Every structure is written in structure tokens, then in C-alpha cells.
Amino acid sequence: MSTLFIDRYGHISRVNIRGTLSLNSIMMNYPNVLSNIQKVDIGSNVNSIENISLPSLTTITIPSSVTSIGQEIFLNCSSLTRVDILSNIPLRNKMFSGCSSLTTVNC
């Protein structure tokens, strides 16, 4: 089960991913709704993440269960400051493209 936390203004501020949640389908149907997400919690049963292009995302932890990520997983996450990768996925050439605030990547 995945959970979206919606603030009093109708913006999604946090996402808990425990199964399958397609951010792309939310983006297509509600193009402005993802712009304020600062935190994404990824459950231990998630094994593949294609794309998390969220401009307000500040920190994220990739759990050890993840074995596959997209080439540009954090494309234009301009507020992202910290990424903790607990799995053995390789770092990709373009995975942090447009992450102008990124200061820490722990692998």
C-alpha cells in the first residue's frame, strides 16, 4: 500500500511507497500536485525505481531491496541535498543531473 500525505492546501508533501505507485500517472493527471514533495519513504519491498524527478525533494534513502534504478533517477531534483543508497546499485553517469543543491551521497 502506498500513501500520499496531502497538506491543508491540497499539495502532496510526502509519499510513502510500500508497493507500486506511479508518480508518472499522478503527474499526467495532476501536473502541479507533485511540486511540493520534500520526502519520499521507500518501502523494503520496492526493488526498482525508474524516476523520482521531484524539484522540492530534499533527502532520500534508497533501501537495500532496490536492485534497479533509472539512468536519470533524480533528474532536476534541484532541492536535493542528501542521498543515502543502502543497496549495491551502481552510480550512473546522469543520475544526479540538475541536482544543484546536492552535497552528500552515501553509498
Give the number of other Cβ atoms within 10 Å of residue 22's Cβ.
Answer: 10
Partners of 40 in the β-ladder = 15, 60
Please state, rounded to an integer, the average pLDDT across all residues of the chain.
78
What are the pLDDT digits (tens) for 52-85? Answer: 888 889 999 998 988 888 888 898 999 999 999 9
CA-based nearest residue to 45, from 2, 93, 105, 92: 2
What pTM was estimated for this model as a whole?
Answer: 0.75
Instruction: Give me 3's grid cell.
Output: 500513501
CA-based nearest residue to 63, from 30, 41, 86: 86
The answer to whether the Cα torsion of 23, 29, 35, 38 is positive or negative is negative
